[in-house]
Amino acid sequence: MHATLDVPLESLSLTLLVVIVFGCIFLGSTSAFNAITSASVTALGVSYAIPIAINCLRGRRMLPESRNFKLPETFAWFANLLGIAYVIVTTVLFVFPPELPVTGSNMNYCIVAFAIVLLISVAQWFVDGRKNFKGPRVEVDDHVLVAAPTLDGPPPPASATSDFSEKEKPMAGNHSAANKV
């Protein structure tokens, strides 16, 4: 965080650099730019499908019973399987070439870009990630899913763990169904 500007200047600079590089790639080769953007959309869809697939493979048993939003079991299974099917269909469609007839210059190299990113990610996981990655620790409260404070940083503010912010607190005489959580 920049001290006087109060913005993540390094992150913004890196984003600017990546956008400039992608712009130069687009000027040089529309096929390469198409491969990068298609691989990005494909990777985003796959990243959405992975937790849904894990949830389905475990039989939806890992979800907490006291969650605020709970679909009927049959509809929840339908929504999960529909989401996975949608990702599969869109992934296949994003791998198709953008025009016919397909030549080496207009072919969609999305699968190549996706495979390179996947190989780098898997290699990085085995080299460094599995030893050093510590995901977020989560504690399930009665009504709220709260991130647990770590020893590395300051504890969250007290208002972050309450059910209501100061503006949303129910009034004393209001007994509507929304207040009976």
- Provide the pLDDT for residue 173: 46
Sequence-distant (6+) residues with CB within 8 A of 24 are none
- Provide the pLDDT for residue 55: 87
Q: Which residue has the higher pLDDT, 40 or 163?
A: 40
- Provide the pLDDT for residue 179: 44
* Cα distance between residue 103 and residue 83, in whole Å: 33
pLDDT tens track for 93-142: 888 887 788 887 778 888 888 888 889 989 998 998 888 888 777 666 65
- What are the respective helix, strand and coil percentages of the chain, to the nearest 5? 55, 5, 40
Sequence-distant (6+) residues with CB within 8 A of 47 are none
The beta-strand segments (E) located in 83-158 are 138-140, 145-147
pLDDT tens track for 57-83: 988 777 777 778 888 888 989 999 999
